[in-house]
Structure formats: structure tokens, C-alpha cells
Amino acid sequence: MTNQAATPELLSPAAPNSATGPDEPRRLLTQLLRRGLNALVFALLAVVFIGGHHLGWTLPRASELFHRASAEDDDWCPEHFVPESQCVECNEEIYPPQKDFGYCDKHGVEQCVIDHPELAQLAGKPRLPQYDTVQALNLLARPENQRDETKHARRVQVASLDAAKKAGIAVAAVEERPMSDAVFANGEVLFDPTRVAHLSPRVAGTVAAVFKTTNDSVDAGEVLALVDAAQVGQTKAQLLNALVKLQLRRTTYARFKDHAGAIPAMTLTEAEAALQEAEVTFVSARQALVNLGFALPDKMDTQRASELAEEIRFLGIPKNYVARLPAGTKTANLISVRTPYAGVIVSSDVVAGEVVDSTKLLFTVADPRALWLQLSVREEDARAVSLGLPVEFRTDDSSQVVRGTVSRVSPAIDERTRALKVFVALSNAEPSLRDKSFGTARIILRVEPHAIVVPQEAVQSGPGGQFVFVRDKDFLTNGTPKIFYARQVRTGARDDKFVELLAGALPGEVVATQGSPVLLAQLLRSNLGEGCGCHKH
């Protein structure tokens, strides 16, 4: 209870007390003595600082305070932060460096452990990559390292295992796991242009009826609207006239031919020519209706004109649609607007009674199951893209992944965006995707089941390239120097946790992960100057 009551007095000054008592003279004397002692202490400190400044006194360094017992015991390398008697950089005879094999042009690293597996920090026989890393390197533009970079020749040493733990250095083994190399590109979902129909009337006229509108599903060949076009009625009338003339010319020619001996030859010839002319006129009239999209019955030329007139009055229009026509619109001038395939009406711009012509767009019909993905691939990645590559696409507003393959590649780079247009055919049996949807695609260039990987935090970038710090194979042995080797690497595929090493490390080696920036900082610091104060320099 006494301590709890005294605590507030240590945190804040006590309240002044105006009352005086018999101990007041003693209290005043005590305060005067305290103030005099404080003034004396400050005066002595001032003398020490002023005198030290003139005499060149300096404060001891932290290493002198914590790493050596006295000024006579000067066994500390301030450049490498280890006892100088154990510093392998200052005393190479303690732990001789590895043989320098120089720069590997094939893999783009110094001290290539793939070409020289004897450099691997492994107790057993090194295991080389199970795939062609050079081919993977050349697949895309990879980060490159500086030739003749000297950091690889240096080793980063820690004083002890405890020192490594205090520095927060963690390690992980180089391992093999499946990885995929991919190119990322922005994409847009589009209807397959071969399955989008923009429908207009074949001839000018007045819209008699509209049966479908936007968002309606339609079957192949379904009637969307009917147009009353005078040209249709005129063409049907021309066909009937041609039929009547043809049948008359046939009868005349047959009669003259039966009495060929009783009539002049010229008359028979003229009858034959007239028949041929009637046949040509009939064929032309028939073709005119075919050009308007009508399907005509066979052997029309043998029918009676009245029968044919009734048959072609509502030619191409199902009876149930004729029954739905308003009164006064059931004429022989009607022509239908049909969809060529099943789909959905994306847009419609037509109403009954509107005057239209062949330039007027009435309907747009698309097949929602036939979609294309248009990707914009960066110019620097364009050379890696080819037909048949698998593609994974994820829309911006959905977690659904749609898969397809590269179907077409543009032969030219877009002048405005400097991107390559790549087209992917998508299978969309369930119409969950929408036209004009945006998202991101992965064009998978290769899938490697035995990729050599390390955690992403193990790779450090610095002047001269990318590095990992490989732990010496005897690191855990008592009495041996605690060394990490700075190893140049070439990176490849990556995901959210791992990065592939196409050069620079072998499976089973141990690399620094957490705390590797500390090792990089020490490596860079060692390279800044050579004046460490040790006998080597």
C-alpha cells in the first residue's frame, strides 16, 4: 500500500504547501545543500568536456564496450563484425575461398553452380535441374546480372549462431515444386464476330408487325418482324406474268411443232424463240424473289397462275404469324426479318408503322455461348505468345476462372497502344460471362513440375543483379566459421510465395530468407571501403 501511494509522486511534482512549522529552517538548509551539490556536479562535467575537447578525448565504440574486455584485448574486426582472429575475409587461410570460375554466359551468373556443382553447399552429391533452364531463360526477358560483379567473391560471416538468431536470420531449403511461367495481359470479352448478326430489311417498306425485342431469346430462322414492301408485291406479280407468258409460249410452240409440215419453217422458228424468251423472263422473275430471301416451291412453271398466286401470297411467313397480323396488313407485300441462328437479341430499334429501308438496323442478334477474349499483350512479351497456348481469364468483378486457348494472333503491333492483339476462343456453355466484360488473363507459356524454387524473401536485389545468400554446408558444425555465400541468381516463374531460380542454386542448399536484407547490407557495407583496420588491408 505504501508503494502504491508513493508512485504518483514520482510521475508528477508535489503540490506546494504554504504552511510553516518548526522544521521549516531545516528544510530550507537541505534544499540549499542539494542545489549546491548539483551546481558542483555540473561544473565538474563542464571542466571534463572542455578539457577533453582540447586534449582530443573520444568515447569508446560499441564494439569496444561489448566485444572486448579491455583496450589491450583488441580482437575485433569492425568491418565484418566478427572477432578478427576468426574473420575469414581478413584471414583467408582460416577458411580458403572457393575457386573463382568467373561469369557463365549460358546462365548469366558468376560462379555458376549448374556448370560447376562442386560449388554447391551440400553434404552429398548435388542434384542438377531436371529441365532445360537455358530454354526457360530465353523464353522471356529475364532480369540480368552485371558481368564481373565482385560481390560473389565475398562471404558474409556472422559471429555465432546466437548472433544470427539475434539478427533475425531465418533459412529455408531450396526445393522443387510445380511452377508455371505466364504472361499477364488485360482482356475484354467480346461476342464471337462470326456469331453476331446485324439485321436490316432487304427492301424499303413499312413495318407491319414486331414480334421480338431486346433480351428475347430466339431460335434459328425465327421471324422477328414483318415489313410491308411494295417491291415484294411487284416482284411476285412479275413472276405470275412470266408464268402466264411461259405457259402460253409452250402451248403455241407445241401446236406449231405438231403441224410443222403445214406451216412455214420461219413461223416455227419464231415460236421457238418466243418460248425461250419466256423461259428467260420466268427464270429472272423467279430469281428476283430468291434474291429477296424467299424459298420458292419446285415445278412452279406447271402450276396454274391462280394457284401459284395463292401459294406465294404469304410466302415465307408461317401461318401463326399471319394470324397475328392486324387487319388491313395481310397483303402479298409482306417480307419477314429472320434470325440466322439461335441466340439473344442484343438490341432492337424498330416499332410497328415505322418506315424503314435496307440501311436501317432493326435488330442485333448474338450467340451468348460463342465468345472471344481479346487480349492486349505487351510488346516485350509478344515474342513468347503463340497459337495453342492455354489461357486462364478472370473477370474484374468475379472470382470465376474461364479457360481457353490462343486461337489467333495479330500479325502487327497496334500503333497506338504498342500492344499485340491476341484472341482466345472461350467455351461458355453456361452464359455467365457478358459481352464487354474486362479482366486479367494468364497466358501459360510453360508448366514445370520440378521447378527449383525459394521463398520470395530469399531473393535480394542490389547493385550488380539479384542475389541469394547460401548457407555454408558446415554452418551448424561446432567450431566452424558461420558463413553465407552471396550467389548471383536468375529468376523465372513466381507465385504468391515462391520464385523460381533458373540459375544460382541447387535443390537441397539452404538460403537465408527472413533477415537476408541484413546480410545484403553487410555485403554492401564491406564493398564500400577497404579500410577495415585488419592486417589484410
Residue 355 predicted with pLDDT over 60:
yes
How far apart, in whole angstroms, are the C-alpha atoms of residue 485 and residue 100?
13
Confidence category of residue 429, pLDDT binned at 50, 70, 90? low
Residue 67 predicted with pLDDT over 70:
no
Q: pLDDT tens for residues 71-86? A: 334 777 877 778 877 7
Q: Stretch 121-138: mean pLDDT, rounded?
A: 95
Q: Stretch 216-241: mean pLDDT, rounded?
A: 94
Closest CA to 159 of 90, 86, 63, 75: 86
**Lowest-confidence pick of 60-74, 277-291, 326-340:** 60-74
Confidence category of residue 21, pLDDT binned at 50, 70, 90? very low
The CATH homologous superfamily to which domain 183-194+367-446 belongs is: Efflux pump adaptor protein, beta barrel domain (2.40.30.170)
How far apart, in whole angstroms, are the C-alpha atoms of residue 433 and residue 436?
9
3-state secondary structure at position 33:
helix
Domain ranges of the chain: 27-58, 84-179+448-528, 183-194+367-446, 201-359
The reported pLDDT for the residue numbered 330 is: 86
Closest CA to 242 of 311, 301, 313: 301
Q: What percent of the chain has a predicted confidence (pLDDT) above 90?
A: 54
The reported pLDDT for the residue numbered 23 is: 52
Confidence category of residue 258, pLDDT binned at 50, 70, 90? confident
Regarding the domain delimited by 84-179+448-528, which CATH topology (the fold level of the hierarchy) does it fall under? 2.40.420
Residue 35 predicted with pLDDT over 80:
no
The reported pLDDT for the residue numbered 71 is: 39
Residue 248 predicted with pLDDT over 50:
yes
Residue 112 predicted with pLDDT over 70:
yes
How far apart, in whole angstroms, are the C-alpha atoms of residue 16 and residue 18?
7
Q: pLDDT tens for residues 289-346? A: 999 999 888 788 888 888 888 889 999 888 888 888 887 788 899 999 999 999 999 9
Is the Cα dihedral 525, 527, 531, 536 positive or negative?
positive
Is the Cα dihedral 249, 250, 251, 253 positive or negative?
positive
